[in-house]
Structure 1
């Protein structure tokens, strides 16, 4: 047993109602979307540059689409963020003439280095030409890049406080006032009964759901087809883009430009995959349960896809997405040839 500040922090023991997930050693996730929206606005609004010809200032953030989350697995923090931002800048010349333009940032993401960030700055249509555009494209873009870099730094420092510290009541508390704006803290464990058994996180999402099944035959072995879903390089091949896939129990996946994400909850090699699966625009923390069953049919493999907990109003899109972006894409990419039933 160690005292605070001594020894490996994984073995810190504290008086608490249960002994579940001490130090968040198992997978925990915290949604940072709401906090990030506030932080990005605060960093961008009022951003100002000037020279001997006038000044420019970011006066409005008109679009903020995306999400952010932080995951802690075995003491390692993993960051996901993806944003599409639009803002308005206002310029004032030395003679007092006002101008207005736009700023677009389509690819603020954990997959892109800050140096590779696209910052598009333009003057609004019908505005007269002004040298202040050059000011925004040079000094303005540089300041915007610095502000977005600060956001990433705050996300990795300010918002993560408390993610690897145990507490007496079994809840990892937010450590700063800005963190209280986050929509969900998924590090809560069961403490009301005093038992050590973990309980599912109750996110409070109450929506009508449905279930459906798809079956398709592939001209390949169960081993090869199973590997397509758990191997990052093979997933990137059939989705034709960057993907993050941790092919193990508790491993996370994120693909199709961040539109699909989830976690592998149960794996039986070459036989079954069970996952928490969601579109990124579903209600926060709502996941469907998707079960893939691989059956050896001699010269081919029958794959059954069972989806439960899909929002009623998104059934058709989800079913079509699985057909197009998984089943048909796998068939076309790897030449396995299949027929939907």
Structure 2
């Protein structure tokens, strides 16, 4: 048994309040599905939307299909949720005699999409000028109100299911949900890979101050295995725990973490080298860095040197930390 401060932290035993999951290393999971269905119904059912003489409300949450879970992976919180929602609504135009009825379909509420990007289709039963006016109101105003409720669902999901997933170590207080840095698998800004953007760096056409990053890591695998972990969509999906878009060929595009990281493969030498154009979504428009993985197989390990040129100076330290701890080098088993 390793002494405290020595050896692999996965195998260190320490005194802790619950005597389980030392260092929060092991994957733990909570099923958030039933809670999510109840919360979504609470937020959406009987939701009133009224403005400028038009009164509408959600009369029924007809369908909520999908799943949700909260996970602790190596001390990081990861939330998965995917919902297909159908709502019934009705509305009345001031002075009109008959109510307009219709449906709203939300097919893709998931961590892969920001709420502002979630599809939402509004339909009505019937026709006529009055019905079309109410439909237009729900399309323009109603969608915004519903998106606010979906945002509240995601916020409360993370608050509720952060409790107890990150366990305190000896001498540490219980972690409060508000202080937990969360990661989602999909394509949104909640991945803890959000660069700091200065107002100057957003100006298109201005000179951008850039620097380079160089990191070297040893991996207990063959060179080809590391290469596959970077280029095979099933393996990349496994360690990012989210949807991946990838065409591993020269000129092929890739997109990870909900589009927060995207780019293009510029050179691929199996087992030896990978060159990419690479950018964060929040970087100045059309600005790409160049990432080179040099892969060298040794007798008992594989040495990987990562060099990234043209990184905006304001992003340098955050980008370096993400490579080491959250993106690739920190997630592939070494």
TM-score interval, normalised by the smaller of the two chains: 0.3 to 0.5
Give the structure-1-normalised TM-score: 0.46
Give the structure-2-normalised TM-score: 0.47
